[in-house]
Amino acid sequence: SLVGVLAALIGARQLPVRIELRPALGSVAAAGDGVVFVRPGPLLGVRQARRIALHELEAHVLPRLAARTEPCRLFLCGAAESAEEEEGRALLVEERAGLLEAARRRELGLRHFGARAVCAGADLEETVRELGARGAAPDEALEIAVRVTRGGGLAREIVYLPAYLRLRAAFTRNPALEAFFVRGRISLAALSALPSAVLTRGQATSTTTGA
C-alpha cells in the first residue's frame, strides 16, 4: 500500500514526517510541512505506490525539512514559481527512479490538455469531451476533468510538464543548480535574482535530509 511504502521510506531515514489519512483529498496523496496526506481507498500497484511516495517525499517534504535550517528564509517561505518547479522536479525524481512510464506520461499529457481547456474557458462537460477526443476513456476523462477544474478552475495541472522540461534543461546545463532545490522551496528565477553571497552562505551551513 502507499501508506506502507511511505512508512518504510520515512522509517528508514528516521524522518520527522507523519502520514495522515484524508478521505476527502482530491488527489491520491499530497504533501505539507512534515506531513504526507493520503486518500484511503485507491488500489495501487507496487510501482505506482513507490512513484507517488518518492514524488511526495523527495520533491515536496524533504526540501521543506531542509529549509528549516536555511539562513535565507525564502527557502522556507517559498519563492515565486517554487510550487510549479517543485512539481517539475517531482517528475524528474520519478524519471530517475525509472517510474515515469508510458501510462504516467499519458496521464500527465491528458491532464495538461484538460488544464489548457479549462484555462480557455471550458466547463466540466466541455473538458470531458475534449479529453475524450484525445483518447481518454469516459471514466478517465471525467476523473481528470474533475481534477483540473478543482479550486474553481485554477488548472494547476498545467504547470507540471512545462516545469519538468524547464528544470531538466537547466539541470543538464548546470547540474549544481539542483542542490538549491534540495535545500528548500526555490525557483530558477529566484536563484538568478538572489545575491551570490546569500546562496554561498546558505550552502555552507545547510544539510540535506534525503539519501
pLDDT at 151: 66
Q: In this structure, which amino acid lies at residue 177?
A: L
Rounded to whole angstroms, the Cα distance separating 110 from 130 reads 10
SS (H, E, C) 33-79: CCEEEECCCCCCCHHHHHHHHHHHHHHHHHHHHHHCCCCCCHHHHCC
Residue 66 backbone phi and psi in degrees, to 5: -65, -35
Rounded to whole angstroms, the Cα distance separating 86 from 124 reads 27
210, pLDDT greater than 60: no
Structure confidence by residue, pLDDT tens digits, 168-192: 999 999 999 999 999 999 999 999 9
pLDDT at 56: 97
195 falls in which pLDDT band (50, 70, 90)? confident
Rounded to whole angstroms, the Cα distance separating 50 from 53 reads 5
Structure confidence by residue, pLDDT tens digits, 200-209: 765 544 333 3
pLDDT at 209: 31
Torsion, Cα of 43, 45, 50, 52 (10° steps): -50
Rounded to whole angstroms, the Cα distance separating 70 from 55 reads 22
pLDDT at 201: 60
Strands (E), the chain: 18-21, 29-32, 35-38
2, pLDDT greater than 90: yes
Grid cell in block for residue 83:
510550487
Grid cell in block for residue 181:
532545490
pLDDT at 194: 85
pTM: 0.88
Note every long-range contact of 126-134, with CB atoms under 8 Å and residues 24 or more positions apart, other chains counting.
134/110
**Closest C-alpha among 88, 65, 135 to residue 144:** 135
DSSP annotation of 124 reads H
199, pLDDT greater than 80: no
Structure confidence by residue, pLDDT tens digits, 103-158: 999 999 999 999 999 999 999 999 999 999 999 999 999 999 998 987 655 678 89
pLDDT at 206: 38
Every domain of the chain and the residues it spans: 2-101+158-205
Structure confidence by residue, pLDDT tens digits, 67-97: 999 988 999 999 999 999 999 999 999 999 9
